Chain A
Amino acid sequence: MIEVEDLTKYYGGKRAIHDLCFRIEKGEIVGFLGLNGAGKTTTLRILGCLILPSSGVVRIDGMDLADSAHEIRKRLGFLPDTPPLYDEMSVQDYLRFVAELKGVSSKNLRRYVGDALATCNLNEVAADNISTLSHGYRQRVGLAQSIVHKPSLLILDEPTSGLDPVQIVEMRELIKRLGGEHTVLLSSHILTEISQTSDRLLVIDRGKLVADGTEESISQQAHGSAQGGVLELEVEGDGDSSAEQARQAIGRVPGVIVARVVSKQARRARLEVECSDDRRSQVARAVVESGLGLLLLQRKALELESIFQRLVHPSHPQPPST
């Protein structure tokens, strides 16, 4: 559905994105994740036919963006980082205008506008002037204008920014419902935010793609190995030395890189084990055979935020973004 090859964009002499390559299939919900100024908006604006890349190829439904932008715009819904609202219009007039502009036939017009109002829970404010709406409602009207013509490709730049927690949950549900029918691209700099709605994440750091995959596969990528990872376990023994005993027993299991004691109590100890692939059963046997009790053994889920931080190296200063 969307193929992107070596996408690069310079603003003047400044490189905003650099050699991005990715593919997005029909019906996928893909989240672009990156810190401020990473290049999310730039990428989405290129895909939304708003700016031309400096180099690289974008194909949407097999059509080259540089040649067929007009055609692509017909099947595109776009919510920029500030919703493009005409303040003096009422919500329904505005949605009608957008639908007609996108080429919805007069036969379908009422139904499509009605659907968009219902989907975004805007029925109560349908007759209100846009200038009187609160920020969250404006954001919802922005979303409604992007889906009113039932586009096959939906691009949402920070759709949840500035919403209250209840609205964030609503927006999240809404985006999930839209997937399948529409291909949805959205961006955020908050990982937990975006990982819940997206089937797949593309992590961008200073204009480069640093990770591409599901939340799980990205966390594995961050660990540097496909199957391995860190195990967490809790053992029970009689003496003071039980922790050390467990550590040595586990250390002898083939495939275990390092085992260390994290905390010690009177009869219990917590350990962390790094291994090259999945060795849970061997580790369990080693603990039991050394005469200790095994209370807990599980893969340690690395916190998402720390994965993100590992990927994007926030130690480098970021330029302020507009």
Chain B
Amino acid sequence: MKPIALIIRRELAAYLRSPLGWVVAAVLLLIDGLAFNVFAVGSDTARKSSEVISQFFFFSGGLAEAAGLFLAMRLIAEERQTGTINLLFSSPVRDYQIVLGKFFAALLFLIGIHILSIYMPLMVLLHGKVAKGHLVAGYLGVVLMGSTGLAIGMFASSLTRSQLVAIVVGAAISVALLLSWLLAPVTDRPFDQFFSWLALWNKHFPSFMRGSISLQDVAYYLSMTYVFLFATTRVLESRRWSS
């Protein structure tokens, strides 16, 4: 366990000291704020508070996924690029500890950014009525989207030394998952269900958006995160000994 804590600490400090962390935080909060003003609050027609909050979580979820990709792109590619991975690989640290340490550091940073966004739903809370459960469910969904994005991004990052390639591959995987429900109507029986289940957003996120927590959807995001972290570990394992 100790190495995981050590890696979390180091990676968190790296986000706080590097421009990447702050750029991602600033861009995310900026877009989030803009979208909130334009789409959620800024329309002429009077709307229910809960509708505004749903809107807010709608784009927050997407942004969290994208931010996850950007935060994760450096995690392994950069270490391979600069050769610091040799330090980890020649130390008594297991591959899964490296992966988990890096993942949780990025997740904590991402959660930190979202804590800064909480003023937006609170503004709605001041002027209208919003169930607290709605906020909890929404933020849970956002964090789960973010963690899936991080896991996908980290998997992409483990495949290459180039952070640019990592972000492109990560985005491609995300888009493929996002659109996988399109395959459902054109495939046969067991697969159509699988493809519609696989869809990153349209099947699983709306319930969080509306303020309900369904275990099935939580399980979906957790298993996506698990699958990509597991794949990352396997890639690391196979790369470790080969070059």
Contact = CB atoms under 8 A, between A and B. Distances in A.
A64 interface: no
Given A49-B90, A70-B94, A145-B87, A100 B243 contact: no
B6 A89 contact: no
A74 B64 CA distance: 38
Interface stretch (A75-83, A258-266, A295-303): A75-83
A22 interface: no
Interface in B210-243: 240-243
Interface residues of B, number: 25
Interface string A29-61: 000000000000000000011111000000000
B90 A50 contact: yes
Given A78-B86, A84-B83, A89-B13, A97 B6 contact: yes
Contacts of B88: 101
A86 B18 CA distance: 11
A74 B94 CA distance: 12
B89 A101 contact: no
Nearest to A98: B87
Contact of A101 (B14, B91, B243): B91
Tell me the interface secondary structure of chain A in the complex: loop
A102 interface: yes
A73 B83 contact: no
A93 B14 CA distance: 12
Nearest to A52: B241
B85 A84 contact: yes
B92 A84 contact: no
A101 B18 CA distance: 22
Contact of B90 (A73, A82, A86, A89): A73
Contacts of B14: 86, 88
Interface string B6-38: 100010011001100000000000000000000
A224 interface: no
B21 to A, nearest CB: 10
Interface in B76-100: 82-94
A163 interface: no
Residues of A in contact with B, size category: 20 to 34
A80 B83 contact: yes
B121 interface: no
Contact of B92 (A51, A70, A145): A70
A82 B81 CA distance: 11
A87 B124 CA distance: 43
A85 B18 CA distance: 15
A314 interface: no
B93 A101 contact: yes
A101 B93 CA distance: 7
Contacts of A84: 82-87
Given A51-B241, A88-B18, A102 B10 contact: no
Contacts of A73: 90-92
B206 interface: no
B75 to A, nearest CB: 13
A73 B91 CA distance: 5
A48 B83 CA distance: 14
A150 B85 CA distance: 21
B103 to A, nearest CB: 17
A291 interface: no
A180 interface: no
A83 B13 CA distance: 20
A272 B14 CA distance: 66
Contacts of B85: 84
B6 A101 contact: yes
Q: Which of B6, B89, B243 has the most C-beta atoms of chain A within 10 angstroms of its own C-beta?
A: B89
Interface in A132-147: 145
Contacts of A49: 89-90
Contacts of A70: 92, 94
B6 A51 contact: no
A51 B239 CA distance: 9
A67 to B, nearest CB: 13
25 contacts: A11-B243, A49-B90, A50-B86, A51-B241, A70-B92, A73-B91, A73-B92, A74-B92, A78-B87, A80-B86, A82-B82, A83-B83, A84-B86, A85-B82, A85-B84, A88-B13, A88-B17, A88-B18, A101-B6, A101-B87, A101-B88, A101-B92, A101-B93, A102-B91, A145-B87
Interface of A: 11, 48-52, 70-71, 73-74, 76, 78, 80, 82-89, 93, 97-98, 100-103, 145
Given A51-B241, A87-B82, 14 more contacts: A50-B89, A50-B240, A51-B243, A73-B90, A73-B92, A78-B90, A80-B86, A84-B83, A86-B14, A93-B13, A101-B6, A101-B92, A102-B92, A145-B87
